[in-house]
Amino acid sequence: MEPEDCPRGHGLLDCPLSYVSGTSNVDVIAVGSTMSRSRAETPWYREGLEFSCTRCGACCTGAPGYVWVSADEIEQLAKFRDESVDAFSSRYVRQVGDHYSLIERPGGDCIFWDREAGCTVYPARPVQCRTWPFWPENVETPEDWRHVRAICPGSGKGRLYSAEEIVESIGMVRQ
């Protein structure tokens, strides 16, 4: 699927964020956006949600998609890997329209996922990775969260994130 063909409402791994727009509970309009005022005051997860990354790779592997990166994130990843920005970019980054995404391995696994070592750039991972599982489409409804819990062993366990922290994570997800 080409980015310009992405229908409204597809997940972040299927379409560029610029194609993911408001839903009944979450509005993703621009960098730093958050839930609508009325929904932010009383989200269904007002008591918070638990999550602790197990570094299992479930969110790093599978279907092809996009891991959006900014120029700053590219620079941070290059520095972490002790590479020049140009060398890193030519090897690991692709341009998609006006945006940049990390490339992936055949089959869709993240280029930085290693089955033995896990995420090889974990300390420098992009915002999209840092905010998992608190993406708009994952917390819009309790049903969405149940789906995440079925595929992510760290969801529903571990640290309790407040509703405010979850909304902040949603706001960090960029277009």
Q: What tens-digit pLDDT sequence spans the chain (175 residues)? A: 333 333 333 333 333 333 332 333 333 323 333 444 444 468 999 999 999 999 999 999 988 889 999 999 999 999 999 999 999 999 999 999 999 999 999 999 999 999 999 999 999 999 999 999 999 999 999 999 999 999 999 999 999 999 999 999 999 985 4
Selection from 143, 136, 166 nearest residue 49 by Cα: 166
Q: What is the pTM of this model?
A: 0.72
> Rounded to whole angstroms, how far apart are CA atoms 104 and 110?
5
Selection from 168, 131, 136 nearest residue 24 by Cα: 136
19, 8 in Cβ contact below 8 A? yes
> Rounded to whole angstroms, how far apart are CA atoms 134 and 117?
24
Neighbours of 46 (CB within 10 A): 11
Collapsing DSSP states into helix, strand and coil, what is residue 138? Answer: helix
Only one residue has tokens 């620079």, namely 75
**Positive or negative torsion for Cα 90, 30, 64, 110:** positive
Collapsing DSSP states into helix, strand and coil, what is residue 142? Answer: helix
Q: What is the largest CA-CA distance in the chain?
A: 46
pLDDT at 114 (0 to 100): 95
Selection from 149, 85, 78, 86 nearest residue 112 by Cα: 78
Only one residue has tokens 């009944």, namely 24
